[in-house]
Amino acid sequence: MPTPLPVDTLRERFPIFKSQVYINSCSQGALSVDVRRAYDDYLCDWDERGAPWEYWVEMLEKVRTAIAELINASPDEIAITTSVSQAVSALASGLRFDRQRHKIVSTMYEFPTVGQVWHAQESHGAKVIHVPAAGNVIPLDYFDKAIDDQTLVVSLSHVCFRNGSKVDVPAIVHMAHRRGAMVLLDSYQALGTMPIDVQALGVDFHTGGVLKYLLSSAGLAYLYVQRDHIKKLQPTAIGWFSQENIFAMDPTANRLSPTARRFESGTPPIPNIYAALAGLKLVKQIGIERIETHIRDLTDALIEGAMRAGFNVVTPLAPKNRGALVTLKAKDVNQLVKQLAAHGIITSSRDNNLRISPHFYNTHADIDAVLGALKKHRDLLV
């Protein structure tokens, strides 16, 4: 068993806990002194060095390596992007849809941007199929019926942003590969809360960002492309950082990088790279396994307390079927979020569900505070 976390010490690095209970990491991680200092470092470097592009490219490679280590990939398999939207768009631009392979199998649990990008490919011959849910899960046999020999890509959300439901990735990858289809896994709501090994999962593509449980800020994400696919795909949504030599500055030719960098675009988000490195370093120092154990302890307590109080838990109850996000059904979720904020408790919502998402910096006292406030406003809950 992983050793317990020194939560009280860790909380000191997050000033927001001096005045509020922040339990909304599924939306954005709490701001640490480490990330704030990283932005200060960027401004100092800009001020003192002027325009040190070679140095900033070195920073870009550091974050590429850090992300590769996080998901057990090679740095050459990682493209740094500004968002998952950009990552999936770049991937989609490199796919070719024909009569033999033209179907995209997605689900109703995807973040909207992913489904929207796939539907944008319909003008290029793609056909998008959305696998429905049954209650708060998507049964494996639903995937088995949807994936066929015309499927090009199966697009999955590791943990659903709406209700915290987690899919059985290895089982679905097996189904897809058996029929010759590739798999894209979006782990934005899982990164930083559980170990993720793209090689063990067997996915062809993987994406996510640093905004949430990786504790950084908006503006930096990535795309993993399994090395056997890299040179087979010729993306058209590109930029100067997708080129083999980014400093060649040649407008007369398109010479794509032989690595996953070919899926990158224009000037990278330099300030966000500083922040991402700080957030990733903090998560690595603590340890993903320890974080996962701590979050599971808190979410178990939250679900048990909510059910004891008679609240409607939307998130699947079985630990293997859920991530770090717990959702409760509400009558007026916007009002409920406001009332909790008035108690100094920061949460968020989707689809009339109250979203509560602890991280390593949360405690059982935070869970008790949430449950206590909810009991005062049970009229807003179903």
Delineate the domains of the chain, giving CATH numbers in brackets: 7-31+287-380 (3.90.1150.10), 36-283 (3.40.640.10)
DSSP character for 158?
S
Q: What's the pLDDT at 3?
A: 77
Q: What is the pLDDT along the chain (382 residues), one digit of tens a residue?
A: 677 888 889 999 999 999 999 999 999 999 999 999 999 999 999 999 999 999 999 999 999 999 999 999 999 999 999 999 999 999 999 999 999 999 999 999 999 999 999 999 999 999 999 999 999 999 999 999 999 999 999 999 999 999 999 999 999 999 999 999 999 999 999 999 999 999 999 999 999 999 999 999 999 999 999 999 999 999 999 999 999 999 898 999 999 999 999 999 999 999 999 999 999 999 999 999 999 999 999 999 999 999 999 999 999 999 999 999 999 999 999 999 999 999 999 999 999 999 999 999 999 999 999 999 999 999 999 9
Kindly state the percentage of the chain with pLDDT values over 90: 97
CA distances from 207 to 71, 81, 146, 154 (A): 10, 10, 22, 14
What one-letter code names the amino acid at 169?
Answer: V
Q: Which pLDDT does position 5 carry in this prediction?
A: 84
For residue 32, the Cα-to-chain-centroid distance in whole angstroms is 19
Q: Token pair of 47, please? A: 């001020």
CA-derived radius of gyration, the chain: 21
What distances in angstroms separate CA 292 from CA 31, 170, 245, 282, 361, one per listed residue?
A: 20, 19, 40, 15, 12
pLDDT at 4: 80
Q: What is the pLDDT of residues 220-260, one digit of tens each?
A: 999 999 999 999 999 999 999 999 999 898 999 999 999 99
pLDDT at 1: 63
- Helix H, strand E, coil C: the string for 189-247 is CCCCCCCCCHHHHCCCEEEEECCCCCCCCCCCEEEEECHHHHCCCCCCCCCHHHECCCC
Residues 105 and 143: beta-carbon distance below 8 Å: yes
Q: What is the pLDDT of residue 69?
A: 98
Q: What tens digit of pLDDT does each residue of 88-143 get?
A: 999 999 999 999 999 999 999 999 999 999 999 999 999 999 999 999 999 999 99
62, 280 contact by CB (below 8 A): no
